């Protein structure tokens, strides 16, 4: 078996494999290329499995961590269970240190399948639907400016100010993340400014008549910005019935508002699965309590540099992390369990973590759980 990146002329064949694997219609005119890099598995020179991948820097406790996103993981149906996908993931893991790769993410059609490669479902996201008639207590507002591209630096700065407050959000510095052609694409972004003229919130949305206005992104720095933007969206209540805000989590700004409204409906909208490719770097990047603490974590992982016992001694927000092969430890985690406890932001404790598959408490792990409390966490990639 040969594992390598696909050349441009080979990507059409990858798309055909994807079409056969996921049962979609391949169009040789529009579907013969892929913008992302693709790693392929070949048998006797013939491509039989592949994975799209692209990198992005993510916020984690104020640090930027190089991370990888996987998409279109597929195998020819007649070649399944030949180990192609396993070898593709092994190749990524083998070069994780040299690539300075810390985290990996994917949408898992079956988490039981991807647990074999160290992934765990992290957190549930929600689409929150509120009838516009239930928002009448929020004053209408027109204190916004339409984004058309010229304000990119200000919008990007605003997004990053908001995103750094949440773990796993993408660090953005590219215009591809924002739509600068609202009239042509019917994809609108409006920026709100505070009394001093500084941007403090934005909303990006489309309209699906006659049912809903669908918010793709909503980021705010203050309650005033949130209420002003929702007040602006009320201007569309004459053409659609509902406001739908996507990619929310319990505790997000809009979720906190919606929980107080009659008629708000929270619908699950998907979940990302995550994997830690460099456990030592992640532990060093974490923000720790001010008071002194220590714990020893036994990591049970197929990735060699992630396997073994990690001793963490922390104080004043920082930690010293050392690695050893054996000895005593306080808590043992498989790779999926480590991803769940360290990345999800759920804030587990000793009483709840023991119900997660792959968690074993061996000593006093209280300082471990103090180091990973509940934190706002959201993935803003597609």
CA separation for the pair 248, 188 (Å, rounded): 19
pTM of the full structure: 0.93
Q: Are 96 and 9 part of one and the same domain?
A: yes
Residue 129: the pLDDT is: 97
Q: Are 324 and 238 part of one and the same domain?
A: no
Q: For the chain, how many residues are written?
A: 382
Residue 79: the pLDDT is: 92
Task: Give CA separation, 155 vs 85, 152, 227, 248, 279, in Å.
Answer: 39, 5, 19, 20, 33
Let me know the angle formed at the C-alpha of 272 by 185 and 48, rounded to the nearest 5 degrees: 85
Tell me the per-residue pLDDT of 99-124, one tens digit each, with 9 for 90 and over.
999 999 999 888 999 999 999 999 88
Whether 253 is covered by a domain: the verdict is yes
Q: Are 162 and 47 part of one and the same domain?
A: no
pLDDT above 90 covers a percentage of the chain that reads 95
Tell me the per-residue pLDDT of 208-263, one tens digit each, with 9 for 90 and over.
999 999 999 999 999 999 999 999 999 999 999 999 999 999 999 999 999 999 99
Q: Are 176 and 239 part of one and the same domain?
A: yes
Q: Are 213 and 150 part of one and the same domain?
A: yes
CA separation for the pair 116, 135 (Å, rounded): 46
The domain that holds 321 is classified in CATH as: 3.30.1050.10
Can you list the pairs that 290-295 forms with residues at least 24 positions away whose Cβ atoms lie under 8 Å? 290/315, 290/316, 290/317, 291/315, 293/367, 293/370, 293/371, 294/367, 295/330, 295/331, 295/365, 295/367, 295/368, 295/371
Task: Give CA separation, 279 vs 90, 103, 301, in Å.
Answer: 16, 9, 10
Q: Are 30 and 96 part of one and the same domain?
A: yes
Tell me the per-residue pLDDT of 65-91, one tens digit each, with 9 for 90 and over.
999 999 999 999 999 988 999 999 999
Confidence band of 327 (pLDDT split at 50, 70, 90): very high
Q: Are 130 and 227 part of one and the same domain?
A: yes
Q: Are 253 and 345 part of one and the same domain?
A: no
Asked if pLDDT for residue 382 goes beyond 90, the answer is: no
Residue 376: the pLDDT is: 95
Whether 77 is covered by a domain: the verdict is yes
Whether the CB-CB separation of 177 and 163 falls below 8 Å is answered with: no
Asked if pLDDT for residue 366 goes beyond 90, the answer is: yes
Q: Are 181 and 63 part of one and the same domain?
A: no
Q: Are 131 and 262 part of one and the same domain?
A: yes
Please identify, among 254, 272, 290, the residue that sits at the C-terminal boundary of a domain: 272
Whether 108 is covered by a domain: the verdict is no
Residue 341: the pLDDT is: 98
Residue 363: the pLDDT is: 87
Whether 377 is covered by a domain: the verdict is no
Whether 121 is covered by a domain: the verdict is no
Q: Are 139 and 73 part of one and the same domain?
A: no
pLDDT above 70 covers a percentage of the chain that reads 100
Mean pLDDT of 186-201: 96
Please identify, among 219, 245, 272, the residue that sits at the C-terminal boundary of a domain: 272
Mean pLDDT of 180-195: 96
Tell me the per-residue pLDDT of 258-315, one tens digit each, with 9 for 90 and over.
999 999 999 998 789 999 999 999 999 999 999 999 999 999 999 999 999 999 999 9
Residue 110, burial from CB neighbour count under 10 angstroms (0-12, 13-18, 19+): exposed
Asked if pLDDT for residue 186 goes beyond 80, the answer is: yes
Q: Are 288 and 257 part of one and the same domain?
A: no
Whether 16 is covered by a domain: the verdict is yes
Residue 175: the pLDDT is: 94
Residue 270: the pLDDT is: 78
- Strands 2-5, 46-60: parallel, antiparallel or unpaired by DSSP? unpaired
End-to-end Cα spacing for the chain: 32
Residue 269: the pLDDT is: 86
Task: Give CA separation, 64 vs 54, 101, 281, in Å.
Answer: 16, 11, 11
Residue 256: the pLDDT is: 96
Residues of the domain holding 239: 126-272
Whether 89 is covered by a domain: the verdict is yes
Whether 120 is covered by a domain: the verdict is no
Averaged confidence pLDDT in the chain: 96
| Number of domains observed in the structure of the chain | 3
The domain that holds 56 is classified in CATH as: 3.40.630.30
Please identify, among 85, 101, 117, the residue that sits at the C-terminal boundary of a domain: 101
């Amino acid at each position: 078996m040969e594992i390598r990146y696909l050349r441009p002329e080979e990507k059409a064949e990858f798309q055909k494999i994807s079409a056969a694997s996921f049962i979609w219609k391949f169009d040789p005119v529009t579907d013969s290329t892929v913008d992302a890099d693709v790693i392929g598995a070949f048998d006797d020179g013939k491509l039989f499995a592949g994975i799209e991948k692209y990198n992005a820097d993510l916020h984690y406790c104020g640090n930027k961590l190089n991370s990888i996103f996987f998409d279109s993981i597929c195998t020819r149906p007649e070649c399944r269970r030949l180990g192609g996908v396993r070898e593709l993931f092994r190749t990524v893991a083998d070069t994780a240190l040299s690539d300075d790769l810390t985290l990996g993410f994917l949408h898992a059609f079956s988490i039981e399948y991807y647990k074999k490669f160290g992934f765990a479902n992290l957190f549930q996201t929600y689409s929150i639907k509120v009838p516009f008639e239930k928002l009448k207590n929020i004053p209408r507002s027109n204190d916004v400016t339409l984004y058309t591209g010229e304000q990119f630096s200000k919008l990007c700065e605003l997004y990053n100010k908001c995103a750094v407050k949440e773990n796993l959000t993408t660090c953005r510095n590219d215009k591809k993340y924002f739509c600068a052609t609202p009239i042509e694409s019917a994809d609108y972004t409006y920026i709100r400014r505070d009394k001093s003229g500084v941007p403090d919130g934005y909303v990006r949305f489309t309209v699906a008549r006659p049912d809903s206005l669908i918010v793709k992104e909503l980021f705010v720095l203050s309650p005033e910005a949130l209420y002003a933007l929702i007040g602006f969206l009320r201007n569309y209540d004459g053409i659609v019935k509902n406001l739908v805000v996507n990619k929310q989590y319990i505790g997000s700004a809009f979720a906190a508002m919606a929980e107080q409204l009659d008629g708000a409906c929270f619908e699950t909208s998907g979940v990302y699965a995550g994997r830690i490719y460099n456990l030592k770097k992640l532990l060093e990047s974490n923000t720790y309590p001010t008071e002194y603490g220590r714990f020893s974590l036994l990591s049970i992982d197929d990735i060699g540099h992630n396997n073994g016992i990690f001793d963490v001694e922390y104080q004043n927000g920082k930690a010293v992390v050392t690695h050893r092969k054996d000895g005593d430890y306080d808590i043992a985690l498989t790779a999926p369990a480590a991803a769940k406890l360290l990345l999800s932001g759920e804030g587990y404790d000793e009483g709840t973590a023991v119900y997660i598959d792959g968690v074993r408490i061996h000593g006093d792990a209280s300082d471990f759980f103090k180091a990973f409390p509940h934190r706002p966490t959201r993935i803003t990639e597609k």
